[in-house]
Structure 1
């Protein structure tokens, strides 16, 4: 080899190959792994330089069978794949744009995965897969739109439900507020009524002076009624209430129901127990007076007698004396008056008769 080199007949490649061979033999004679090339071979790997040589050889071989024109389509594809793998390995596992173009001419796509494996796929299969993917995407999009529409409808329904729930909650809160205000007003009315009726904020227990029928009768007597009249008026009140004993409900006697919210007008007309019974007593006294006047008008009589005085044979003369008896209750009063006051007596009797008519007797 040395002589050939001196003569200038060895190329650079021949020289490199000779050096590699010498190194291989040297490595073989030396125990263990003594070089990078030997390390690659031990691991079954190819060095970058060897890959480049192999790629060049595969490129030349592939070019020859293409130019020959006798290879089948399947042989051309197999040859291209081997040539492409060698070229990719020599290029550091990178697919060049030129190689992609050559693959496209063969109806193939070429790629390197994460593990460094070179894969080839038919462009027709890829197009079909892309079509399927596109169709799937379209279907997914359609489904998504449907879901979005449904979700939108459901969302709108949820929003409406939420708004309705919020509105119902607001109405409930307003009703609760109104009830509280009404209860507070009721309590205030009841307190005011108790103050007016009993002089305290709370109504006394049923042991008060109006808690029994006897207590009511005694109060009516204290207002000037006779015992007979007090008993009668108490009887009327208990009959109106529908009971025969116990405490009187002065609110119901005045036309108000238990629990009724009193207006300002109601409060102005509402009477305490003592006021209510005092008015009952006053009306009873008025009725008694009218009844007495009626008795006077009914029993008053005028007795007119004619007495003759100084009878003369030629022309008799006469005069009248008027005797009147008045009865008032169990008492009787008598009086006499001359004839000249007859007109006044008649006027008095007429006034008494008018009073009787006004009183309804």
Structure 2
């Protein structure tokens, strides 16, 4: 016979049963509230509410016997019964004292928010171009990124690379994030290239431009072999750049590619002028060369000279523009011969290019790792 004044609890919480104490069966119970621990009665209450509110009057309709489909308000199929507990048709009152909000995983999206914040606050200001171009990179490009995954991943990769550059103690962490987003960007970009047109050319152009910069900063090692790999990637981007430019010039991103004019142009330094002379000398034929190798090298040298001359005439950052433009013009035969490494004149031409890259690296963080590369070729 139970003692007077003591009612046996059969529906107490798990925590009280484990402590072998009486549970008052409140939600939460008094003991759990006092010890500030999670009470199992709370989760039971929320589950019961979710099951109750997920039931609809349509259960009595002919469709009620279908275990897989619940009709929505318009008669269209709603979520499956497996989803109805997670997405009840009548929302739980979040101000109810027993309401427990669903747990949201905070891993990937917290990292991405950090990267996006850094891009819109700092990283975009390091992009080449005048203030009008920087404004596009900081505001219009992210807005376009929300519609195109390849562009969003390119933005986040650029931001992660910049964070790795300015936070040396966490460089490895951000470099992993940058490589992850760069890989995703290239996957989405390759798919989107099949449909290049006026509607998506702006996003593809911005993504291709960021991919070029990310490729230079995200090098595993700063060597001739890796540089050739980057050149091959840039050749793939040339299709986007060459095809989209006429549309970009008449679109919202026009300021990015618009030539600098007037006082905004920097006067070419004596070093850049001497580069033109040296490049011209690198195009002279050699008697010992095969006709194919000679033609490939001479054409590549002329393309480098034209890229630098055009950049001097139109850009406030001629060394950078030439360094980014020339690889997109190279032919596959030249790169294959460069890989073979049997033509000293080709290596001489590459050494000139690397000196141009080093010259630009004093102003731009994303190619700063290539300083000293000319002495290693």
TM-score (norm 2): 0.18
Structure with the greater alpha carbon radius of gyration: 1
Structure with the bigger RCO (C-alpha within 8 Å, sep 6+) is: 2
TM-score (norm 1): 0.18
